[in-house]
Chains A and B, each alone.
Chain A
Amino acid sequence: MQFELLKPIADFFVDKNLNLIAPELILTVFFLASVCGVTFAKTDKERFNVWNYAFLGCLLTLICLLLFWQTDYFNQASEESLLVFNNMFKADSLSVLTRILLAGGSLLVLLFSRVFIERALKETAGEFYVVFLSALLGAMFLSGANDLIMMFVSLETLSISSYVMVGMIRGNLASNEAGFKYLLYGGVSTAVLLFGLSILYGLTGSTQYVGVFTGFIENASQLSPIVLSMMSVMLLAGIAFKLSAAPFHLWAPDAYEGGATPVIAFLSVVSKIAAFVLAVRLFSMIFIGLQGWVPLLSALSVLSMVIGNVVALTQKNIKRLLAYSTVAHVGYLLLSFVVMSETALGSLLYYLITYLFMNLGAFAVVTYFENTTGSNSIADYAGLIRKKPLITLTFSVMLLSLAGIPITAGFFGKFFIFQAVATSGNQYLWLIVIALLTSTISLFYYLNVIRLMVIEAPSSKVSALPDKDAWLSSVPPFATNTVLILCFLMTVLMGIFAEPTLKVCKAVINQSVLTHTAIVASAADGNAVQSDIKVDIHQKP
């Protein structure tokens, strides 16, 4: 009887392909639940318990996504059966993989941030989780966006939630300043991006990725190069802001320094991954035939690598250091767009996965340290090994991985990208040289932190930590502990077993992006440009 009633609903869902966005629907339910939770909460304790909704929401979303991954429905499914909302959202393997990363990353952030958020935000901690979930929701929709409007709306959901989260610490000037700065920069860049998108629509007459792509092919001869380059520059500036690629990175250090540390962890990992997947889709599904991007992207990449790594050398605050290190990593990642081959994009995905674990691990330690000592100064990390050997070990491994020391996952992330770029032609060798040189520079500031922690005498803050009487006393609270162990294991294991992961990443890229582009290109009406593009695509190794 009950099933009879539910059947039309189930049919409706399947009919509209809504089962493909089941994770988002689950998350929305929990989002609404947390809104109710905050609204009806009377005491601080009840507000703090909104964390449970957020945690459960992320967990169920993750499980749902992992089930998707298990069934590999995207292997058999046709292109159309993966589309939702009139082709606005595409639940292909790329979006499933990305959403797993997003939900998993958010789950980790929630795990290690609870104590910190309650201490820092006090009575607004409940609202924080609401905004957190809406940001995650935006990021998840962004990762599957198949339409310029969908892309823009979800990007804004993510961005506005991020502005709020960064400026959320009430009465804290640094946080409010950071939030406001982020909002101003973000607002301008959004306007620029939107302008670029509207030009794109004007040029091609469609907002769908497929439509834009075929529009380019069909109208190739009539497109004015000036308008085209204006559109490119604007789009790129907008995306570069979201990626915090130099020279659009200026908001990042301030936002990182002022924002609550878990928020920054979320921004530097989850929202970066979403933005990169957006870029993957734009560059490989729309602009793959246009060569004009290469110099622009190379410039962004080189600037990010150089500025990120060089400026990081002088930082005294660990969060600012990680901000500049993020800029530098964005530089390495952008290299893969310069080449745009299957290997390069697969390596990009691999790098994003490793980056998730190593950066979140690092931020978990920073959060823990700030929570126990109240300091973010690098100098205060001195002598940490005397009190917290295991934390120091984990942090060191994360930093070594970020620096790209062999056998860690970070090394292979860089290695794969550099290799993909190096093998695709001699004209890119100078990029590799710069990348190698700047990653050598990066060794100095990462290793400096390790040096401080291991060699130097304990700082006053570290001395004030409780004495280590037994080996296990260095273990932090359970939740943080889980995150640290997971990140540590993944960073090491993904280094040793880099190959299988890379294979999966390549398959995902091939299946959901490159094949799609090739089909659309060959389906489009035949003219001169089309054959050029076809050759272009088939040349990719």
Chain B
Amino acid sequence: MDILSHSYYSILIAVPFVLALFSLLVPEGKNGKIVHGFALFGSVLLFLISMLSVIGVVTPVSETLAWMPSLGISYSVSADGLSQVLVVLTTFLTVMAAIASITSIHKRVKLYYSMFFTLIGSVIGVFLARDLFLYFLFWELELIPMYFLIAIWGGPRRQYASIKFVLYTLFGSVFLVAGLLALYFHAASIPALDHSTLFLYDTVKKAVGFNLPLASQVLIFTALFITFAVKLPVVPLHTWLPDAHVEAPTPVSMLLAGILLKMGSYGMLRLCFEFIPEAAKVAAPYICLLAVINIVYTAGIALVQKDLKKLIAYSSVSHMGFVLLGLSALNALGFNGAVFVMFAHGLVSAALFMCVGTLYNRTHTREISEYGGFAQQTPILFYFFLYTAMASLGLPLLVSFASETLVFYGAFTSNAFETLTLLGNTFPWSIQALTVVSGLGIVIGAAYLLWMLQRVFFGPLKEKWTQLNDASLSEVVVLATLAVLIMAFGVSPKLITNGFEPEITALAQHSFKEFNAPPVFKRTGLMTANRSDQPENFSSNGATQK
């Protein structure tokens, strides 16, 4: 146990890479059965390992080793609540995606799983890295398997979609490199810091607080923000995502929506907001504006989609907007809401893409107009699709409702803009107004999801679909597991929020002190000043209040 806890994080990163290697070596078996079995076993193993620290069997220790001291690079891995939640989400969705792969991947299975696990390994690396250089390595490494996963196992336009994905991400990476180098050179110019660990998160954080002019901070913040905005994605950098989703096979779509987008929001929270809080205060109003555009605009686009998977992809982008909205609130509630939305979106979007994939496996079309009347043919699939769609549009008691409510509450009670000015005037928009506007996204969301359900599952059944099979056992397993979790975390959000809430709240209170003072609510007047008697109480309970 001692070895396990001392190298727990390294093991967590290494296991997927070992699995990637072994999936090349195991025999393929009939129809790739042996590889599928091996991959399923491996992903369950990975999930169990990641659960060890959650249930408290091991108490992992941060690892820091000197790697290239003369350049300030070290190997450092650790996890706080945020990282841990995302890692567990990753390993859990890995199991789900591995099960989904059994029915949707039939060619070149060995190569598929080696890419699949390389992807998982690099994503876990991104979440666990505590050194900017290591972070960058894993960030770039993720690109290669994802490219091949879309380009080999994708749909008819896979070449276009995969190249577009790579180009967009590389475009973002250029800004990441620029931002990291700027931080690095700034840190290197400070004699007080330990120059053999310049890339460590702690060192960088210290360096930013040390004499970095606000203008430079804003520049670095913007560069990093663009990188993560490509990944998240934020309108207008989002156009790669619908293409990638449409062409990717079902399990890859699940991972893309469930995990890869979280790399963007994780990076934003960690690198932008945690490292450079002063710039975040300046940028918050614009981020808030972007968030609302993201939510409402993409919801509008989803409304007019003819392709079922594209519709779900746009709805996924729309919901990621809530992460942005939560972040721009700059208070504990908003931050906790944002992290919670990340988690909830991981479950719900994976389930939605699973539903779409199940439908596609049977019909081999994604045109909504081709469907109709499937409710009688495939009742089980219908129930699950209905349930996940309800979860997505924010039905109370389900996980999206809980998380998005938290974001709305955080954003609405935020006073992030009040001290800021634009050209000497107060901002022309307030976060409260924008929050109300973003509520439109929920309304439109209900519209496109219900309309989609109506067109797919009701109405006359076409002649050619009379022989459709209902969801198979493996598909039901995936959908049911996700459904149970969507309900469980919706009913009792504390199960998950307890994991990250203390650290996120502490971050908000430490870096954004002025926005986490007891709220006065000048504009809305919803509450009066008697709240100010118990400021700590308010904030520490904030995450679970709704």
Chain B residues with Cβ below 8 Å from A422 are: 181, 185
A454–B148 contact, CB under 8 A? Answer: yes
B141 in complex: contacting residue of A406, A499, A502, A503, CB < 8 Å: A406
How far apart sit A471 and B137, CA to CA, in the bound complex (Å)? 30
Contact B170 A499 (CB under 8 A): no
Q: Mark A138-174, 1 if CB is under 8 A from B, else 0.
A: 0000000000000000000000000000000000000
A residues near B141, Cβ cutoff 8 Å: 406-407
Q: Once the chains are docked, how many angstroms separate the CA of A419 from the CA of B70? A: 12
Cβ contact within 8 Å between A451 and B151? yes
Whether the pair A405, B151 counts as a contact (CB closer than 8 A) is: no
Specify the chain A residue showing the minimal Cβ separation from B158. Answer: A455
In the complex the two chains form, is B137's CB within 8 Å of A440's CB?
no
> Does the CB pair B137–A436 fall under 8 Å?
no
Q: A405-B140, A419-B71 are in contact. Are A440 and B174 (CB under 8 A)?
A: yes
Q: Mark B282-322, 1 if CB is under 8 A from A, else 0.
A: 00000000000000000000000000000000000000000
* SS class, residues of chain B in contact with chain A: helix
Q: Within the assembled complex, what's the spacing in Å between the Cα atoms of A492 and B342?
A: 35
Whether the Cβ atoms of B170 and A443 lie closer than 8 Å is yes
Check B111 for interface membership: any CB of A closer than 8 A: yes
Question: By the criterion CB–CB under 8 Å, are B68 and A406 in contact?
Answer: no
Residue of B nearest to A393 (CB): B24
Is B420 part of the binding interface, using a Cβ–Cβ cutoff of 8 Å?
A: no
Kindly state the separation between the CA atoms of A491 and B83 in the bound complex, as whole angstroms: 32
Q: How far is the CB of B10 from chain A (nearest CB, A)?
A: 14
Q: Select one of B70, B151, B159, B185 contacting A502, CB under 8 A.
A: B70
A367-395 interface code vs B (CB 8 A; 1 in, 0 out): 00000000000000000010001000000
Chain A residues contacting B140 (CB-CB under 8 Å) are 405-406
CB of A97 within 8 Å of the partner chain: no
Residues of B45-78 contacting chain A, CB below 8 A: 67-71
A455–B177 touching, CB < 8 Å: no
B406 to chain A, nearest CB (A): 37
Contact code string B121-152 (vs A, CB < 8 Å = 1, else 0): 00000000000000011001100100010011
Q: Which of B70, B111, B188 contacts A503 (CB 8 A)?
A: B70
A:417-466 near B, CB below 8 Å: 419, 422-423, 436, 440, 443, 447, 451, 454-455
What is the minimal beta-carbon distance from B110 to any residue of chain A, in angstroms?
A: 9
State the CA gap A389–B69 with chains docked (Å). 36
Q: Are A436 and B177 in contact (CB under 8 A)?
A: yes
The interface residues of chain B lying within 8 Å CB-to-CB of A406 are: 136-137, 140-141
Interface membership of chain A positions 471-484, coded 1 if the CB is closer than 8 angstroms to chain B and 0 otherwise = 10000000000000
Contact of B137 among A385, A407, A451 (CB under 8 A): A407
Could you tell me the distance between the alpha carbons of A455 and B152 in the complex, rounded to whole angstroms? 6
Q: CB-CB < 8 A to B185: which residues of A?
A: 422-423
**Are A440 and B67 neighbours in the complex by a CB distance under 8 Å?**
no
Say yes or no: A499 contacts B148, CB within 8 Å.
Answer: no
Picked from A436, A443, A455, A471, the residue with its CB within 8 Å of the CB of B148 is: A455
Q: A498 at interface (Cβ–Cβ under 8 A)?
A: yes
Complex CA gap A436/B176 in Å reads 13
Q: What mask results when residues 253 to 274 of chain A are scored 1 for a CB within 8 Å of chain B, else 0?
A: 0000000000000000000000
**C-alpha spacing A216/B80, complex, angstroms:** 62
Give complex CA distance A471, B24 in Å.
10
Q: Are B152 and A454 in contact (CB under 8 A)?
A: yes
Q: Scoring A residues 481 to 502 as 1 if CB is less than 8 Å from chain B, else 0, what string do you get? A: 0000000000000000011001
* Assembly CA distance A134 to B67 (angstroms): 42
Q: Mark B5-26, 1 if CB is under 8 A from A, else 0.
A: 0000000000000000000110
Contact call B151/A455, Cβ cutoff below 8 A = yes
Within the complex, the shortest CB–CB distance from A437 to chain B, in Å, comes to 9
Contact of B111 among A385, A405, A423, A499 (CB under 8 A): A385
Task: Collect the chain B residues with CB atoms within 8 Å of residue A451's CB.
Answer: 151
A422 to B188, CA, bound (A): 12
In the complex, chain B residues whose CB is within 8 Å of the CB of A455? 148, 151-152, 159
Q: In the complex, what residues of B have CB within 8 A of residue A440's CB?
A: 170, 174
CB 8 Å contact bits of B61-103 with A (1 = contact, 0 = none): 0000001111100000000000000000000000000000000
CA distance in complex: A471, B27 (Å):
10
Indicate which residue in A385, A423, A499 contacts B67 across the interface (CB closer than 8 Å): A499
Chain A positions within 8 Å of B181 at CB level: 422
Within the complex, the shortest CB–CB distance from B170 to chain A, in Å, comes to: 7
Expressed in whole angstroms, the Cα–Cα distance for A405 and B142 within the complex equals 12
Residue on A nearest B184 in the bound complex, by CB: A419
Residues of A within 8 A of B174 (CB): 436, 440
Closest to B152 in A: A455
How far is A454 from B115 in the complex, measured between Cα atoms in Å? 12
Q: How far is the CB of A480 from chain B (nearest CB, A)?
A: 21
Q: B163-193 CB contact bits vs A (8 Å, 1 = yes)?
A: 0001000100010010001000100100000
Q: How far is the CA of A405 from the CA of B68 in the complex (A)?
A: 18
- List A contacts of B170 (CB < 8 A): 440, 443
Does the CB pair B70–A499 fall under 8 Å? yes
Closest chain-A Cβ to B156's Cβ sits at a distance in Å of 14
* B70: A residues at CB distance < 8 A: 499, 502-503
B residues less than 8 Å from A436 (CB atoms): 174, 177
Interface pair A499/B71, CB less than 8 Å apart: yes
**CB-CB contacts below 8 Å: A395-418 with B:** 405-407
Enumerate chain B residues within 8 angstroms of A502, measured Cβ to Cβ.
70
How far, in Å, is B160 (CB) from chain A's closest CB? Answer: 13
* Cβ-closest chain A residue relative to B173: A440
A405–B170 CA distance with the chains assembled, in angstroms: 12
> Using Cβ atoms and an 8 Å threshold, which residues of chain B touch A498?
68
Min CB gap B474→A, angstroms: 27
CB distance from B223 to the nearest CB of A (A): 13
Q: How far is the CB of B150 from chain A (nearest CB, A)?
A: 10
Minimum CB–CB distance from A446 to chain B (whole Å) comes to 12
A536 to B166, CA, bound (A): 45
Known: A406-B141, A440-B170. A499 touches B68 (CB 8 A): yes
Nearest Cβ on chain A to B465's Cβ, whole angstroms = 32
Residues of chain B within 8 A (CB-CB) of A419 are 71
CA distance A443 to B177 in the complex (A): 16
Q: How far is the CB of B84 from chain A (nearest CB, A)?
A: 25
In the bound assembly, the distance between CA atoms of A498 and B140 in angstroms comes to 19
The CA-CA distance from A405 to B177 in the complex, in Å, is 13
CB of A499 within 8 A of CB of B151, answer: no
A-chain residues with CB within 8 Å of residue B177 when the two chains form the complex:
436
In contact, B152 and A499 (Cβ under 8 angstroms): no
Interface centre among B71, B141, B151 (most CB of A within 10 A): B71
| Residue picked from B68, B69, B166, B181, most chain A C-beta under 10 Å | B68
Whole-angstrom distance between the alpha carbons of A152 and B79 in the complex? 60
Chain A proximity mask over B382-393: 1 for CB below 8 Å, otherwise 0: 000000000000
Chain A residues with Cβ under 8 A from B25's Cβ?
471
Q: Which residue of A lies closest to B140 (CB)?
A: A406
**In the complex the two chains form, what is the Cα distance from A503 to B144 in whole Å?**
31
Q: How distant is B362 from chain A, measured CB to nearest CB, in Å?
A: 27
Chain B 430-453, CB-CB to A under 8 Å as 1, else 0, gives 000000000000000000000000
Chain A residues in 8 Å Cβ range of B151: 451, 455
Within the assembled complex, what's the spacing in Å between the Cα atoms of A499 and B69? Answer: 8
Task: Report the bound CA distance from A499 to B151 in whole Å.
Answer: 36
Tell me how far the C-beta of B66 lies from the nearest C-beta in chain A, rounded to whole angstroms: 9
Report B24 CB to chain A, min CB distance, Å: 8
A339: min CB distance to chain B, Å: 16
Residues from chain A with Cβ under 8 Å of B71 in the complex: 419, 499
24 contacts between A and B (CB under 8 A): A385-B111, A405-B140, A405-B144, A406-B137, A406-B140, A406-B141, A422-B181, A423-B185, A423-B188, A436-B177, A451-B151, A454-B111, A454-B148, A454-B152, A455-B148, A455-B151, A455-B152, A455-B159, A498-B68, A499-B67, A499-B69, A499-B70, A499-B71, A503-B70
Rank and list the top 5 A-B pairs by shortest CB-CB distance, nearest first: A499-B68, A406-B137, A455-B151, A406-B140, A455-B152
Q: Contacts A389-B24, A406-B136, A436-B177 given; 11 further ones with Cβ under 8 A?
A: A385-B111, A405-B140, A406-B137, A407-B141, A422-B185, A436-B174, A443-B170, A447-B166, A454-B148, A454-B152, A455-B151
